[in-house]
Every structure is written in C-alpha cells, then in structure tokens.
Amino acid sequence: MGRIRVWAVGFCVLFCGACREEGGAREDASRVDTLSLVMQVRECARLYTAEYEVHKLVLKDDPLHVKGNVFSRSFDVEVPIGERKAIVPIDVTLKAYIDFSGFGEANVVRSGERIAIVLPDPRVVVSASRIDHDEVKQFVSLTRSYYTSVELVDFARQGEEEILATVPEMGILDVARENAAHVLVPLLAGLGYEEKDIVISFRKKFTEADMPFLLEREGRGGKLE
C-alpha cells in the first residue's frame, strides 16, 4: 500500500443572493412557511465546500516465478534474481459540493421552535488526477524487462481507485456538511431561529458502498496524465 497525505482546505463558492444579504428585516419564524424557506435555500444552487489534495505512492512488486510439474506434482518457485518493482507517485484532487437545486420541503423538518435541515447527498468530484512521471522509479533485474507506460498507468489507476474507496474515511464529507452549516445557519437565524435549535445533517452516514453514486469526474479528471 502507498502512503496518503491529505491537505484539507475548507472553502465556499456561493451563488446565493439571499445568503449574502447583510442586515435587513428579520421575520419571525412563525411567519415563514416551509415553501418560502425552500425557495431561499434553492438560491444557493451549487455550494462547493471542500477540496482535498491526495498524494499516494503506488507500489508494484512483481517477482519472477517458475512453475511446472515434476512427477505429476506441480510447483511454483519464486526466483530471487528475477524481481522487478515500481513506485508510481500520483496526485489526485478531490472537491466536494452540495447541489441545492433539488432541495424541497422533504428536506425540512420542523418541531416547535426547532428546525432540522437534511442536506442533499454530497457529490465528490475528481477534478485532477496525474502521475508524477519525474519521480517514477523502477527496480528491474537483468533478467526482466521494464514496465511499459501502459502498465504504469494501469498501476496508477489502481492507486486512484484505492484513494476513492477511502473517501468516507478522509473526512471530506464531514467538512462538506460543516461548511454547508456555516452558510445555512446564518440564513435560518435571520429567519428567526435560535442557533441552538438548528440541526444540519445528511440523510445517512455514507460508506464505501455509496461512493460509486457520489463520485463524478470533471474535465481531465477522468484521465490520468
């Protein structure tokens, strides 16, 4: 397994006129119906909430094996002088965002003075994926051939898939929720809710099994360079 270094950068790219307003009349919460709230939240459109830069060393070890049969018994022997190894460094950029365009009344749960907002499912975008070709290393015995560029790209792709499988463990989804809360809580407070009565959450705890449904690729993010 390679080593993964993660830099988390929390940021918000916000297209939301209502969220940018400063001051203004603060309506009493009892006068604000759910539909009005939904329309204001929808104005936030797509909210980018986090960016992670992941560096991984993909290690490939391919020892030479001699296989055969002797007296009807099969054998598989590793030849110590026939090893070849490769180290392929890759850099993958991931961005998380929440799309509020489909936000609806089902995302709002009110109970007295309390209000709970169930966020739309987050999306994780692979915005860049590249091999650091200058740092690729190969260690090859005289009896073996070097890995081809096609093989190296395939190893890198495997490493990228390993990174994507660990997204739920990285914390990027938690950062997405927290940064969405930083935007929505002031909006709800402006509508008359006390901060202590506001709950922002996703509909579930996402796992590795959910990632195929949450991931997408942007531009050349789908192609290792």
Instruction: Give the pLDDT of residue 179.
Output: 84
CA–CA gap between residue 121 and residue 116 (Å, rounded): 15
Q: What is the pTM of this model?
A: 0.67
Q: Of residues 123 and 144, which shows the higher confidence score?
A: 123
pLDDT at 89: 92
Residue 26 is predicted with a pLDDT of 41
Which pLDDT belongs to residue 62? 66
The counts of H helices and E strands in the chain are: 6, 11
Quote the CA–CA distance of 63 and 80 in Å, as a whole number.
Answer: 7
Task: State pLDDT tens for residues 3-18.
Answer: 444 444 444 444 454 4
> How many domains, the chain?
1
Q: How confident is the model at residue 216 (pLDDT cuts 50, 70, 90)?
A: confident
pLDDT in tens, 105-127: 888 888 878 888 888 888 888 88
Lowest mean pLDDT among 22-31, 129-138, 196-205: 22-31
What percentage of residues in the chain have a pLDDT greater than 90? 2
- In single-letter form, the type of residue at position 101 comes to S
Go through 94-106 and write b for each residue having 16 or more CB atoms within 10 A of its CB, e for each that does not: bbbbbebeebeee
- How high is the pLDDT of residue 15? 42
- At residue 5, the pLDDT reads 46
Q: What are phi and psi of 205, to 5 degrees?
A: -90, 115
Domain membership of residue 148 as a residue range? 4-222
**What gap in Å lies between CA 88 and CA 60, rounded to an integer?**
8
Determine phi and psi for 66, rounding to 5 degrees. -110, 120
- pLDDT digit string, tens, across residues 68-112: 555 566 645 455 666 788 889 999 998 888 888 888 888 888 887
